[in-house]
A and B are shown apart, each in its own frame.
Chain A
Amino acid sequence: MKLEVAITKRLGALELDVEFSAEAPVLGLFGRSGSGKTSVVNAIAGLLKPDSGRVVVDGEVLFDSARGINLAPEKRCIGYVFQDALLFPHLSVRHNLLYGAPRGGGGAIGFEAAVELLGLAALLERRPLALSGGEKQRVAIGRALLSQPRLLLMDEPLASLDNQRRMEILRYIERLRNELKQPVVYVSHAVGEITRLADHVVLMNEGSVLAHGPVQQIFNRADLRPHTGRYEGGALIEAEAVAHDARYFLTRFRFDGGELVAPGIDTPLGARVRIRIRSRDVSIATVMPQGISIRNVLAGNVTEIADNGGAIVEVSVRLGTIDVPARISRQARYELAIEPGSRVFLLIKAIAFDKRSVGFAAS
C-alpha cells in the first residue's frame, strides 16, 4: 500500500500541516493526543475536508484541492475503525457486519471467514448494547473489513479498553496483517502498539510531521526520544527466535548485537520479532557481574551520554547496529566513571520483556 498525504487544515488553534509519503503494509501514525493524528485519518477517509493539498492511495487521487477533486467517503473504499467502535445500535451484530459488505458476497474476505478470524460466531444475533468493549471493537473491525477496503484506518482502537482486552485485540490486528495482508494505517499514542504493529512510522507533533521512516529507525533515534516516549522510551530491535527452553519457559532471540532471553512466547523458531527494550529497564556494570539473577548481560561501548544535570542520565551503548539507551542515575555515572567510549555491560532482566514489548514483525 502506498499512501501520499500532503494537506493543510486550520482546526481552531491547531494548524495542521502534514506531508508524508509511505509504502508499507502497516503505517503507524504516532504522537501525543492533540497532535492532529485523528484529523489526518479523517482527511484520508473523506470525513474532513482539508483546506488544501492532496491525498493519494495506491496512485488513485482521493483529494486534490488544486484539481478540485474530493471523493465522497463512500466512494473511497477506505475502512475505518473508530476508537469507540460506533456500531449501529439498532442493528444486530450480523447486520452491523453486513452493512458495508458488497451485495451477493465476493471480495477478499467472506462473511464466514471474518466471523471465524475475529471469533464472532457466538455474538451474531446480539445487539451492540449487550456487548463488552472488546467484543464491540472486534465487531467494528469485522464490519470495516467486510466492506473490502483497500486500506483500513484504525484510530486508537484499543484506547477505551482495559489491558487484557488490549492484548486480545492486538493479536487479532496482527492476524489481519499477517494472514490477510490487509493494509492498515494505525493511529496510537502508545509506543507498544506502534512498535508491535507498524512497519513504517509517521511521528506527529502539534499538527505537523516531525519525522517518518521505518519503525526501528524512528524509535532508535536519540534526537526523537522526547517524542517517542519518556517513560516508555528505549530501543527497538529486530530479532529471530532461535531456541525455546521448555523447562523454564524461556525463549532465546538472536539479533545483530548478541542474544536475548525473554519469557517464552508462542512463536515458531526462525520467526522475526520486534523487541522493545525500555531504557529504564537497562542497568550498567563496568565489570562482568558474578552471581546475578539478571539473564541478559551484553557488552558494548558507550557512544553518547545525555546529561542535563538532573538526577537521571541516559547512556547509549552500541550493540551491533543500534544504540541501546540505559537510564541510570547521574551519581552512578560519575561513581563508575562512565564516559563516551567506555566498555560496559548492559544488564537487562529477562522478565523486563512482557507481551507488550515483544511482537511479531510482519513477515
Chain B
Amino acid sequence: MAIRDNHAMLSAEEISIILLSLKVAAASVIFSLPLALAAALLLARTQFRGKTLVDALIHLPLVLPPVVIGYFLLLAFGRQGLLGGFFERVFGLVFAFRWTGAALAAGIMGFPLMVRAIRLGLEAIDPRLEAAARTLGAGRWRVLASVTLPLALPGIIMGALLAFARSLGEFGATITFVSNIPGETQTLPLAIYNLTQSPGGDSAILKLCAISVLLSVAALVVSEWLNRRSRGPGASTLA
C-alpha cells in the first residue's frame, strides 16, 4: 500500500471533485424541485385520465437500470438528439459530455424520490384546511402559497434531501450519458470508480469514501435543521 505524505490533506484535484459533485447535485435539485412539486400536486390533488400512466412514467428511473436511463438520455439529449438539438438551438444549452448533463442525469434519477416524498407530504394535509382557507376569501393560488406549501414543507425538504443524496451518489446514468471526464463530469462516485481501476489508490479511495459519508451526513443534518425551523418555535418535530 502506498503511503502518501499529504494523506490527511485534500489535493486541488480532490477539492475540485467535491465542488463539482456539490454543483451537480445542487443544480439537479434546484431545477427538478419546481417540476417535482407540480407533478406531486398533479398526483395528490387531481383526478384525470391516464393518471396511472403518468405515475408509472415518473417512477421509471426508480425501477429501470440506470445504464438504460443514461442511454436514453444519450439518444435524446446528445447533440444529434431531438431534445439536445432543441436545447442547444433555443437556449444555447449543451448537455452531452458536460456537467450540465451530469446534473440532468442526477435530476432524473432523483425525480421519483422527490415526487414521492412531496406527494406524501401533500397527502398528509387535511384538504378541509384548504376548503377553510377558500371560505375565508383566498383564491386557489393564495391557498397554495399560504396553506398547502407551508404545510407540505417537511415533505418538500425530505424530497429535496433524498434527491440531493441520490444525486451525490449517481453513477450509472451519468457515466453512460456524459462519460467520466475529470473536471467536467467526474463526480465523487466516478472518481472513486476510476481509482479502483488503477492499482495502489486505496488511501485515496478511502479518503473520497469518507468525504462521501461526510457530505451525506451534512445533508441530513441541514435538512433536519430546516425541518425544525419550518415548524416554528415550540413545535414538535414529530409529524
Contact = CB atoms under 8 A, between A and B. Distances in A.
Contacts of B234: 127, 130
Given A45-B135, A72-B134, A127 B147 contact: no
Interface string A82-94: 1000101110000
B126 A147 contact: no
B83 interface: no
Interface string B40-62: 00000000000000000000000
A86 B126 contact: yes
Interface string B178-192: 000000000000000
Interface in A52-109: 72-74, 76-80, 82, 86, 88-90, 99-100
A224 to B, nearest CB: 32
Contacts of A127: 232, 234-235
Interface string B223-239: 00000000110111000
Nearest to A42: B131
B135 A80 contact: yes
B65 interface: no
A121 interface: no
A88 to B, nearest CB: 6
Contacts, number: 60
Interface string B96-134: 000000000000000000000000000000101101111
Interface residues of B, number: 21
B137 A100 contact: yes
Given A73-B135, A74-B134, A147-B137, A86 B128 contact: yes
Given A72-B139, A74-B139, A130-B234, A88 B129 contact: yes
A47 interface: yes
A74 B131 CA distance: 9
A334 B45 CA distance: 65
Contacts of B133: 88, 99
B134 to A, nearest CB: 4
Nearest to A73: B134
A74 B235 contact: no
A14 interface: no
Interface string A133-152: 00000000001100100000
B138 interface: yes
Nearest to A153: B135
A144 B134 CA distance: 11
Contacts of B151: 89-90
Interface in A314-358: none
A78 B150 contact: no
A271 interface: no
B128 A147 contact: no
Nearest to B128: A86
B232 A74 contact: no
Interface residues of A, number: 24
B232 A78 contact: no
Contacts of A86: 126, 128-129, 132
Contacts of A73: 131, 134-135
Nearest to B135: A80
A9 to B, nearest CB: 17
A131 interface: no
A82 B132 contact: yes
Contacts of A46: 134-135
Contact of A88 (B134, B135, B139, B147): B147
Contact of B137 (A47, A74, A129, A130): A74
Q: Which of A45, A72, A100, A143 has the most CB of B within 10 A?
A: A100
B131 A47 contact: yes
A106 B198 CA distance: 76
A143 B136 contact: yes
A99 B136 contact: yes
Given A89-B151, A90-B150, A127-B234, A74 B135 contact: yes
A130 B233 CA distance: 12
A46 B131 CA distance: 9
A198 B126 CA distance: 31
B235 A129 contact: yes
B237 to A, nearest CB: 13
Q: Which of B129, B134, B236 has the most CB of A within 10 A?
A: B134
Interface string B130-161: 01111111110000001100110000000000
A173 B31 CA distance: 51
Given A90-B150, A90-B151, A144 B235 contact: no
Nearest to A48: B131
Contact of B232 (A47, A77, A90): A90
A62 B206 CA distance: 69
B232 A147 contact: no
A147 B136 CA distance: 6
Nearest to B138: A74
Interface of B: 126, 128-129, 131-139, 146-147, 150-151, 231-232, 234-236
Given A47-B135, A90-B231, A99-B136, 10 more contacts: A47-B131, A72-B134, A74-B137, A82-B128, A89-B129, A89-B151, A90-B232, A99-B146, A127-B232, A127-B235
